[in-house]
Chain A
Amino acid sequence: MEKFTVHKGLVVPLDRANVDTDAIIPKQYLKSVKKSGFGPTLFDDWRYKKAGEPGMDHSLRDINPDFVLNQAQYQGASILIARENFGCGSSREHAVWALTDYGIKTVIAPSYADIFFNNSFKNGLLPVILSEAVVDKLFSEIDNGYELIIDLEQQKVITPTGEAFSFEVDSFRKHCLLNGLDDIGLTLQYADDIRAYEEKCKQETPWLMA
């Protein structure tokens, strides 16, 4: 997993509450054998005029010009800000894969659904929780080229005027993100223990190691 320390990026405002994972990535895309390539179908139902199917060339589809992700000033955004209960609904990890594949590094919202929140950390996506008042304020400030700095080390979101808002994050998860450790990365920290275990097996139960 990529390390997350300080990230500065363009902000795209998705002014909705209860954005569910089916909206983030509709079910027809779950047939895929891949973990990547979900970016073009992120928010598929909102982003395009007609429902899509896996295998289509999405660049040829009619886009919905009213949807924020399609507006010129938000191209290249890497920070998504939304309202409460972001990521509710089905447990599909594909929702996180779609966001990261699109290029989103941080979501800012007043609250999240549990499973989505957990899945995010597993995939290097930082879900920042800020109060409703602060989220309101950020929404009202967003204009052309609005960028935020997300400083995970300091646990601060810094606006273009230098105003800073603190956020909470579980220390273990912070450690994992800062060091780019996913579950696998974490387990691999114990690679020596695993090797030592294997050495012992070679002595005691060699037929299992052959």
Chain B
Amino acid sequence: MAIRTLYDKLWDAHVVREEEDGTALLYIDRHLVHEVTSPQAFEGLRLAGRGLWRSDSILAVPDHNVPTTKQHRGNGTAKIDDPVAKIQIETLNQNCEDFEIEEFLMDDIRQGIVHVIGPEQGATLPGMTVVCGDSHTSTHGAFGALAHGIGTSEVEHVMATQCLIQKKMKNMLVSVDGKVGAGITAKDIVLAIIGKIGTAGGTGYAIEFAGEAIADLSMEGRMTVCNMAIEAGARAGMIAVDQTTIDYIKDRPFAPTGEYWDKAVEAWADLVSDEGANFDQVIHLDASQIEPQVTWGTSPEMVLPITSVVPNPDDETDAVKRNSIQAALDYMGLQAGEPIDAIEVDKIFIGSCTNSRIEDIREAAVVVKGHTVADNVKLAMVVPGSGLVKQQAEKEGLDQIFIEAGFEWREPGCSMCLAMNADRLQSGERCASTSNRNFEGRQGQGGRTHLVSPAMAAAAAIKGHFTDIRAFS
């Protein structure tokens, strides 16, 4: 067999047929569905009188629009205020019932953000193709899977045919060599990568993340890294399978058992890039040089170490870049030369499919313990990624640590990551957020988002401004 990359292997294993021009029918093993991008797909099926090709490949959950406050949860959708959100969630429920799809309803302890629950349930497995009508599907690549977001007509296409019409992407290797320093997390690694290659750096590529610093990460850290591959322009990010992967999956509800488990583990050993495999592009980062990262602008590539100052547009020679820096500073209400650790924040959001898993919450809790939220912070909230994450955190008493410090402890969902529900920034408010997008208006019209790790967000909550987690006490 030829020498292949991990992506080559995943691709080859799923091609049903390929046309001469390289257009292929790619078989899809796992289809995750949520309330926002699925309704038209279901309706398309109905209009055409079509059914699902394989309903057992689909797992559905409402997440984007669900309220995260206790008084709006419980008793199904009855307590949702927003009529549009309510209709979308009820439409999903009805569709799942009509088409006999397994759905974790809002009241189910397993409900949560689609990219959190897939892996948590073992519904995402190595060697799979995973799709979802959501760009952060790249998250699931952490398991040595080929995972990417798709549009609504593609959602319908996968439902009806179990296939996607695709052309192969190019291969990129991003190697993070050596070990990271104390206090440096997966979020800092991926932000540093995006800072280096830019938000379009991965366009047209499938990125494999590798190197000692990546191998050292837990599965949760690896998911954080792959989650943001799309912010580097790559539809898919992935990491080779190793013992960490296998240990994580074992005994999860949807994972194979018995004889199948043994066979699967044997097969998964091959889900690595072969020695000497060819990548179209290779990027190296020195892990030891990575510092805690904070975005200062309106694109994830506008990111700097906490020890830096806000950039000066006048230092940029390229006119287009100069203008975009200026526009970002204007929107963000920042001055060139201002130290990043002097920037004060109004709100803190710890959550989203990037950073809402149990380790993220533990990481933040360690920082928060014994402190109180600064007076200038109007709202600090923790939104666990799933009901099970929430339950685990409560078992460990983490909720109490946050509540005592002045945080709000919420119900699971996407929440202020995209502000589709009531959780949002008011115009001009500044937020330290563990989510993945800092675009204009992403967290509410006029809202200003700074992307950081959970530890950095927690430290900002206590200090009232960004602060170097390595010096935090």
Contacts and interface: CB of A to CB of B under 8 A. Distances in A.
A133 interface: no
Contact of A194 (B16, B263, B264): B16
Given A33-B40, A184-B156, A194-B162, A210 B48 contact: no
A1 interface: yes
Which of A1, A182, A194 gathers most chain B CB within 10 Å?
A194
B163 interface: yes
Contacts of A93: 153
Given A34-B39, A193-B17, A188 B160 contact: yes
A208 B128 contact: yes
Contacts of B209: none
B125 A194 contact: no
Contact of B157 (A35, A184, A190, A194): A184
A90 interface: no
A33 B53 CA distance: 22
A201 B263 CA distance: 13
Contacts, number: 73
B264 A35 contact: no
Nearest to A33: B39
Interface in B370-387: none
A35 B43 contact: yes
B165 interface: yes
Contacts of A183: 153, 157, 165
Interface stretch (B83-91, B98-106, B390-398): B83-91
Q: Is the interface of A mostly helix, strand, loop or mixed?
A: helix
B20 to A, nearest CB: 14
Interface in A11-45: 31, 33-36
A107 to B, nearest CB: 20
Interface in B444-467: none
A97 B27 CA distance: 28
Interface in B61-110: 84, 87-88, 91
A210 B156 contact: no
B260 A206 contact: yes
Nearest to B41: A35
A205 B162 CA distance: 16
A193 B263 contact: no
B48 A208 contact: no
Contacts of B163: 187, 194
B260 A184 contact: no
Given A33-B88, A184-B157, A194-B163, 17 more contacts: A31-B84, A33-B43, A34-B43, A35-B43, A36-B43, A36-B47, A93-B153, A182-B48, A184-B48, A187-B160, A187-B163, A191-B161, A197-B16, A206-B260, A208-B125, A208-B127, A208-B128
5 closest residue pairs by CB, A with B: A33-B39, A207-B256, A207-B260, A187-B161, A35-B43
